[in-house]
Structure 1
Amino acid sequence: MKENQTNKLAFVLICFVFLMFIEATVFGNGNIVLVLLGIGMMYFSLRKQRRFLFWAGFILLLIAIFSMWSLRLFLIAIMLYALHKLWKNEPISQVIRPFGAVYEETPNSIIQNKLFSAQTTPFQAYEWQDIHVQSFYGEFVIDVTETVLPKGTSLISIRQSLGKVVIYVPYEIPVRLHYATILGEANILGRGIQRLWNQSVLLKDGYLEDVNYASELVISVSTWIGDIEVIRK
């Protein structure tokens, strides 16, 4: 039976949190207070839409974490694990699999799953495939006007931490969109630029009552910090 990589990663993270707890209680490292303060400031900034508090809390969190020996021990363990796997001549994809999303792609996938990437659909006509992407940082440009959508519902689903998504859609195709972000900017179908703090956007465009559409496009984008732009052309 194959190992459950999600359970393995969860076990490692629980061990890391336990080390932080031991460092704070047994060894009296007061930086755990900065961690809690930073998290609290970031949460409060998202509730009250205070950008200064968000970045101040983020900086406090970084300072506190990188001054704790438990994090340094955690990073050393990751490096030793990677060196051990590489010494055994294992592929790099197998080495990083427990710590990042690594997926097998079909050779003709339009957009690939990568931790860091800037990708675009072909600039000439191409065959449509539903897009499912997960990444840490990505810049994606998806032009649906260069393809023909099949009958039924076509899907664009993007999950990432940082980055921007630009999508061009044909005028004749109805669109349903769900965009969620902690901090981001939305410019959707000519409705103007909207700044978002821990908010979601839900909308439908191009639908008429009593009309059965042969094709429709569903867009779902979720980011921590990122922008989205949807344009008809």
Structure 2
Amino acid sequence: MNQITTNKLTMLLIISVLLVFIEVTFFGNGSIIFALLGIVMIYMSISKRRKWSFWIGTIISIISLFSMWSLRIAVVVTLVYILWQLKKGTPVSISLPDQSDYNPSEVQPIIQNKAFSLQSTPANAYEWQDIHVQGIVSDLTIDTTQTLLPKGTSLISIRQGFGKVRIAVPYEVPVRIHFNTLVGDVQLFGNKMPRLWNKTISMKDGYNPEVESTVELIITVSTLFGDVEVIRK
């Protein structure tokens, strides 16, 4: 598997910024002004909850950014590189952590860090491991009813840019949920909530003050644009 390391990502980012700087400075492209205006509109819409301003700002930013030849070059080069790797039969993944201390004998996590992914826990019984995952665009399905949660506190921690997270938990396990997002929909235990705009919500379910449970599950999810669904089964 061909991995795009942090150094390569940093180099690509610096080159992209340099191309934008050259275009704005020497060729007088004013699109960056409209892009910044769009970003300001998005920020103002989130703070004041004006959806129409959010979508107008998003459209302005996208059109302005992609009208710049420097960014178009960066996008084309990136896509050509990915297509070339796929043609060679070498999947492309983005590796942000340092892999120098990686030990092949270590147990692989159930859900792995991938920039773009569609992942789920095994359909049959599996051994539980706490889940810590980061991604850019991901669609994750985690079913904790197919495993035995150990005594004490188990953790699911997810940080990603875009995508939906679906989590199934056993009926008898107390659950605490923390979810924050820029824009996202939430459905918790069959209750669909109004769309969140730059908000954080916390909820707990299944706790009985008269019965002390030996097992607890904590779920924390953080997204830019993403939905969360938690069910019991």
- Report TM bin, short chain: 0.7 to 0.9
- The runs of 5 or more residues in structure 2 that have no matched partner are none
Deviation at 1:112, TM superposition (A): 3.5
Q: Structure 1 length as normaliser, TM-score?
A: 0.79
Partner of 1:230: 230
Distance in 2 (CA, whole Å) between partners of 1:207 and 1:188 is 15
* Kept after mapping to 2: 8 A contact 1:101/1:134: no
Deviations 1:16-41 (A, max 9, x none): 22432332233211111111111111
Aligned to 1:205: 205
Q: Distance in 2 between matches of 1:116 and 1:34?
A: 29
Please list the CA deviations of residues 35-74 of structure 1 after superposition, one character each: whole Å capped at 9, or x if unmatched: 1111111111111222222222111111111111221333
Aligned counterpart, 1:68? 68
Alignment-derived partner of residue 148 in structure 1? 148
Correspondence for 1:56 = 56
TM-score (norm: length of structure 2): 0.79
**Structure 1: segments with no counterpart, 5+ residues:** none
Three-state SS of the structure 1 residue aligned to 2:171 is coil
State the alpha-carbon separation in 2 of the partners of residues 228 and 34 from structure 1. 33
Indicate conservation of the 8 Å contact 2:94/2:115, yes or no.
no
Q: Structure 1 77/143 Cα, relative in aligned 2: closer, same or farther at 3 Å? A: closer
Aligned equivalent of 1:24: 24
* Residues paired across the two proteins, number: 224
Query: C-alpha distance in 2, partners of 1:184/1:122?
Result: 26
Distance verdict in 2 for CA 1:22–1:39, change over 3 Å: same
Alignment of 1:101-180 (within 5 A): 109-180=109-180
Contact kept, 8 Å, 1:35 with 1:60, in 2: the verdict is yes
The 3-state SS of whatever aligns with 1:194 is: coil
Counterparts of 2:82 and 2:123, CA distance in 1 = 38
Aligned-partner SS, 1:73: helix
Q: Which amino acid letter does the alignment assign opposite residue 126 of structure 1?
A: Y
Question: How far is 1:197 from its partner?
Answer: 0.4
For 1:209 and 1:162, the matched residues in 2 are separated by 37
Task: Determine the C-alpha separation between the residues in 2 that align with 1:119 and 1:76.
Answer: 27
Of all paired residues, the percent bearing the same amino acid is 50
Question: Shift of residue 141 of structure 1?
Answer: 2.2
CA distance in 2, matches of 1:177, 1:79: 37
Q: CA 1:202/1:55 → structure 2, altered by over 3 Å: closer, same or farther? A: same
> What SS class does the counterpart of residue 194 from structure 2 fall into?
strand
Report SS of the residue matched to 1:217: strand
